[in-house]
Amino acid sequence: MAALSLSGLSKFYGETRAVEDLSFSVREGEVFGFLGPNGAGKTTTIRTLLGFLHPTAGDATVLGVSIHDRDALQEARSRIGYLPSDPSIDPDLTGRRFLDEQAALKGDVRREELVERFDVPVDRRVGELSRGNRQKLAIVQAFVHDPSLAVLDEPTSGLDPLLQETFNTFLREERAAGTTVFFSSHVLSEVRKVCDRVAVVRDGHLAALEDVESLLSRGGKRVRVHVGEDVSASDFDIEGVHDLHVDDEVRFTFTGDYDDLVALLSRFSIRDLDVEEAPLEDVFVRFYGESESPRTDATRRPADTGGEGSV
Ligand SMILES: Nc1ncnc2c1ncn2[C@@H]1O[C@H](COP(=O)(O)OP(=O)(O)OP(=O)(O)O)[C@@H](O)[C@H]1O
C-alpha cells in the first residue's frame, strides 16, 4: 500500500488555481521530497491531504484512507505527524505544557528522547523562544507519538546549519526505522541530502517526478572562478558549460563531465573558486522553461479551511 497516493488532485481558491491534477504516490518507508518554488502549491497540497482543505476535484488516499472519508481520515491522523509551515503555538504556554496538550491528543511515547535529541528548552514560554527553538519544539510535536507517516511543510526553516544536519540525520534514522516522510521544500540542496525521490511542483502542476540523483545530475553546478590570466568566452567553450559570463570573474553553470571541468580549470592560475549546486530556479528554467507569470500573495485570502487542529 502506498503511504500517500494522489489522483488528479486539484484545489482552487475561487478563481485562483493553487494545484491542478496532481497524481503521484509515496511508497511506504521512503523519504519523499515535495519540491517547488514559493507559491507553487506545496502547502495547499499538504493541507488538502490532511483534510484541512476540501479538494476542488480529484482524490487522494493517506495511509490507505480517502481524503473524502472525513471520519476515517480523522482516525488516520493519530498515525500521522504534521509539521505546519508556520506552526502557531500559544506563546503563553511553556514548551512542556504544549507537549502535555499534544500528549493528551495523540500520545507521547517518544517525548523524552526527542526533547533531549533536539535540546528543546521546554521550561521556557513559547513566546520567548527563538525561531529555531520554536521550530525544534514543532518538530518534536510532529514525531512525539511515533507516527508511521510524517508530513513536514518546510521543516528546516529557522534551523541553523548545525541543526539542519541534526535534523537530516534524524530523518535518515526515521527512514531506517520504516517511517514514511513527506517533506516539502523550495531548496534542492536540502532535499538532496535526505530524500529518495522528489516530486517537483510548479505553478500548481507536477513538473517532474524522479529520484534525487537523476534530478541533481541534470541540475548541474554553478561555477564562479577568478583567474590570474586574461580570458575570453572561447576559453571556456567545452561541453556542459551554460550561461557563461566573463568579466572580472568567470561564471557559468556546468552540467558536463567533472574531469573535463578540472582539466579546463587546471590551465589557469586560480585566484578564487566557488562551485555550488545550481539553484532550483535555474534547474527549472533549463528543463521546464520559464514559469508562467508569477502569482503574487496579494491574491491570498483566508478561504475554506476546515480548521487546522493538531494531528
Ligand atoms: N487561502 C488562500 N486564498 C487564496 N489563494 C491562496 C490561499 N492560499 C494560497 N493561495 C494561493 O495558492 C497558490 C499556492 O500557494 P501555496 O501556499 O500552496 O504554495 P507553496 O508552494 O506552499 O508556497 P510557499 O513555499 O511560499 O509556502 C499561491 O498562488 C497562493 O497565493
**pTM assigned to the model:** 0.81
Distance 41 CA to ligand 1 centre (A): 6
**What cell was used for 116?**
533531549
Predicted pLDDT of residue 295: 36
Mean pLDDT by 10 residues, the chain (311 residues): 96 95 97 91 96 96 96 93 93 96 94 96 96 95 97 92 93 96 87 89 90 78 95 94 93 93 96 86 63 39 36 32
Predicted pLDDT of residue 284: 63
Report domain extents, the chain: 4-216, 221-277
Distance 178 CA to ligand 1 centre (A): 31
The secondary structure of 79-142 as a DSSP string is GEEEE-SS----TTSBHHHHHHHHHHHH--TTHHHHHHHHT--TTSBGGGS-HHHHHHHHHHHH
Q: In sequence order, which ranges of the chain are alpha helices (DSSP H)?
A: 42-49, 70-76, 95-106, 111-118, 131-143, 161-176, 188-194, 212-219, 258-265, 280-288
Residue nearest (by alpha carbon) to ligand 1 atom 10: 300
Mutate to test the pocket of ligand 1, among 15, 16, 151 (most ligand atoms within 8 A of CB): 16
* Residues ≥6 apart with Cβ < 8 Å to 173: none
Predicted pLDDT of residue 281: 62
Pick from 151, 146, 101, 152: nearest CA to 122: 101
Pick from 144, 63, 138: nearest CA to 109: 144
**Strand 149-153 relative to strand 180-185: parallel, antiparallel, unpaired?**
parallel
Distance 12 CA to ligand 1 centre (A): 10
Secondary structure of residue 171 in the 3-state scheme: helix
Per-residue pLDDT tens for 136-186? Answer: 999 999 999 999 999 999 999 889 999 999 999 999 999 999 999 999 998
CATH no., domain 221-277? 3.30.70
Distance 14 CA to ligand 1 centre (A): 12
* Residues ≥6 apart with Cβ < 8 Å to 154: 42, 85, 184, 185, 186
Mutate to test the pocket of ligand 1, among 44, 46, 83, 190 (most ligand atoms within 8 A of CB): 44
Predicted pLDDT of residue 168: 94
Lining residues, ligand 1, CB within 6 Å: 13, 16, 18, 36, 38-44, 85, 186, 295, 297, 299-303
Per-residue pLDDT tens for 98-125? Answer: 999 999 999 999 999 999 999 999 999 9
Mention the CATH class of domain 4-216: alpha beta
Atom number of ligand 1 nearest to Cα 296: 31
Predicted pLDDT of residue 294: 36
Q: Measured between alpha carbons, how far is 233 from 236 in angstroms, rounded to an integer? A: 6
Residue nearest (by alpha carbon) to ligand 1 atom 12: 18
